[in-house]
A = this chain, B = another copy of it.
Amino acid sequence: MNFLEEKILQDGVIKEGNILKVDSFLNHQIDVDTIRQMAYEFKRRFRGKKVNKVLTIEASGISIATLLGNLYDVPVVFAKKSETANSTDDKYISQAFSFTHKKHNNVFISKPYLSATDCVLIVDDFLADGQAARALIDLVKQAGGQVVGLGFAIEKGQQKGGSELRAEGYHVESIAIVEEMDWRTQTIRFRQQLPLPLSKAKLSLG
């Protein structure tokens, strides 16, 4: 069990309706130690990939993207969800349905902040049906850039986002994948993921 699965078991709350509440450490209050570990874990899982931009969507993905951008030392861009009065720039615009807010959101990025030379790592807190991820991929494609990979803190394994994106060839990494959860018993079963590679310390014992 990895650090995030342990944290979810310790501090997450399962609500009726297949809702996993992690706002005590991920998307309202932020436990920086957990987010820091996530940034290192994403960098490990995407090692060897050239990344020159980290992309997320407001608001919950911003803290993860910031600590990951800090590790890669590359710019972070967060897509916005609504028009603002002082935003008159040309934009790349896509749409995503938010199950949380039960509405379609415009998702946009001002054109200067995505380009055809960008190798983009997309990160967000949750992957479920993949609506937000699809919108972010669409924005990168509109700019002619390349999606290097997609990293999520928590994936809902029974929803279609992850399986569809992987089937299309995207490199998707989710630190914790929830296969089943039960709000009555407050139990969660995670998908077993490949273990960490053996460390040099362990290898030297062989």
Q: Which residues of A contact B (CB under 8 A)?
A: 15, 17, 19, 21, 23-24, 28-33, 35-36, 58-59, 62-63, 65-67, 69-70, 73-78, 80, 82, 84-88, 99-102, 109-110, 112-113
Give the distance in Å from the alpha carbon of A161 to the alpha carbon of B150 in the complex: 40
Q: Which residues of B contact A19 (CB under 8 A)?
A: 86
Q: Tell me how many chains of this kind the complex includes.
A: 2
Best-surrounded residue of A28, A29, A100 (most CB of chain B within 10 A) = A28
Identify the closest chain B residue to A66 (Cβ): B63
Q: Is the CB of A110 within 8 A of B80?
A: no
| Sample of 18 more A-B contacts, CB < 8 Å, known A28-B110, A32-B66 | A19-B86, A23-B113, A24-B113, A28-B77, A30-B65, A30-B77, A30-B78, A31-B75, A32-B73, A32-B75, A58-B59, A62-B63, A62-B66, A70-B70, A84-B100, A84-B101, A85-B99, A85-B101
Known A62-B63, A84-B101, A100-B85; judge A74-B32 contact (CB<8 A): yes
- Supply 24 A–B pairs (Cβ within 8 Å), ascending by A: A15-B86, A15-B88, A19-B86, A21-B86, A28-B113, A29-B75, A30-B75, A30-B76, A31-B75, A32-B66, A32-B73, A32-B75, A36-B70, A59-B62, A59-B78, A59-B80, A62-B66, A63-B66, A63-B76, A67-B70, A70-B70, A85-B100, A85-B101, A85-B102
Task: Return the contact of A62 from the options B62, B86, B87, B112 (Cβ within 8 A).
Answer: B62
Give the distance in Å from the alpha carbon of A23 to the alpha carbon of B17 in the complex: 38
Identify the closest chain B residue to A27 (Cβ): B78
Q: How far is the CB of A154 from chain B (nearest CB, A)?
A: 14
Q: Which residues of B contact A73 (CB under 8 A)?
A: 32-33
Give the distance in Å from the alpha carbon of A58 to the alpha carbon of B125 in the complex: 15
Q: Which residues of B contact A28 (CB under 8 A)?
A: 77-78, 80, 109-110, 113
